[in-house]
Amino acid sequence: MDVGGTILDESREFATWADWLGVPHHTFSAVFGAGIARGQDWQTAFRTFRPGFDLPAELERRTAAGYPDTFTEEDLYPDARACLAARKAQGLRVGLAGNQPAEAEAMLHALDLPVDVIGASHAWGVHKPSPAFFDRVIREGGGGTAHSLLYVGDRPDNDAAPALDAGLQACLIRRGPWGYILDTPPEVAARCLFRIDSLADLPALVATHNAA
């Protein structure tokens, strides 16, 4: 399962970045959304307001200034923990893996989530949508076939499409900026096992599918 936009609500993070860059929240959101719609790298919005923006250097400056990049229980979507616990109760191997800085692994572990595996792209050395990322997901999946694994994410381009191409099953959740703005192309959604608006729906869908 993906992290940002799937179990993690990034609204507060986007707001703190807008404050750090010195722009109104709605302005940052509008530029950010326009970049997503154009298929641009997500850092394009940051470079619009701060030319030459370099994420590692900027994170270091923020941390030194007393504004570390972090997340807490409050940043989880309300349906996230219950969904993970329900899937564990179904006897499934549950993991989290997304495009996140290496420090995110420690932050997720600190939340004591009911999962078996936690992986961050920077720690793994591979990033979505690279096939190598999903090869790692398959290896962490516990020895089953790729098709026996379900990857849940909010992005058709970074999550569903490359997961399907790697042989995994996919579930698209529509929330967060990517989940709404990139609610296309329809052929990707049509190949997904499930499309949901809430993680609360996932355990029952999985149970019904596995019982068929």
Is the predicted pLDDT of residue 30 greater than 80, yes or no? Answer: yes
- At residue 65 the predicted structure's pLDDT band, cuts being 50, 70 and 90, is confident
Is the predicted pLDDT of residue 26 greater than 90, yes or no? Answer: yes
Does any domain span residue 129? yes
Within 10 angstroms of residue 190's Cβ, the number of other Cβ atoms is: 8
181 and 89 in one domain? yes
φ and ψ of 210, to 5 deg: -70, -25
Mean pLDDT, rounded, of the chain: 92
Residue 91 backbone class (left: φ over 0; alpha: ψ -120 to 50; beta: rest): left
The pLDDT, as a whole number, for residue 140 is: 93
Check residues 55 and 52 and name the one with the higher pLDDT: 52
Picking from 196, 122, 116, 128, the residue whose alpha carbon sits closest to that of residue 166 is: 128
Percentage above 90 pLDDT, the chain: 73
The tokens 């989290």 sit on which residue? Answer: 96
Does any domain span residue 6? no
The pLDDT, as a whole number, for residue 63 is: 84
Picking from 74, 66, 22, the residue whose alpha carbon sits closest to that of residue 48 is: 22
| H-assigned helices in 160-200 | 161-165, 176-181, 186-191
The tokens 């641009």 sit on which residue? Answer: 40
159 and 194 in one domain? yes
Predicted TM-score (pTM) of this structure: 0.91
Is the predicted pLDDT of residue 69 greater than 80, yes or no? Answer: no
Residue that finishes a domain, picked among 64, 82, 97: 64
Residue 147 DSSP label: G
Provide the domain limits for residue 128: 73-211
83 and 177 in one domain? yes
The pLDDT, as a whole number, for residue 42 is: 84
β-bridge partners, 97? 119
Is the predicted pLDDT of residue 43 greater than 70, yes or no? Answer: yes
Does any domain span residue 130? yes
Integer Cα distance of 70 and 72 in angstroms: 7
The pLDDT, as a whole number, for residue 184 is: 63
52 and 77 in one domain? no
- Over residues 155-188, the pLDDT tens digits come to 999 999 999 999 999 999 999 888 888 876 678 8
Pairing of strands 169-173, 150-153: parallel
The pLDDT, as a whole number, for residue 40 is: 87
- Over residues 93-151, the pLDDT tens digits come to 999 999 988 788 999 999 999 999 999 999 999 999 999 999 999 999 987 799 999 99
φ and ψ of 95, to 5 deg: -140, 160
Region 195-205 average pLDDT: 97
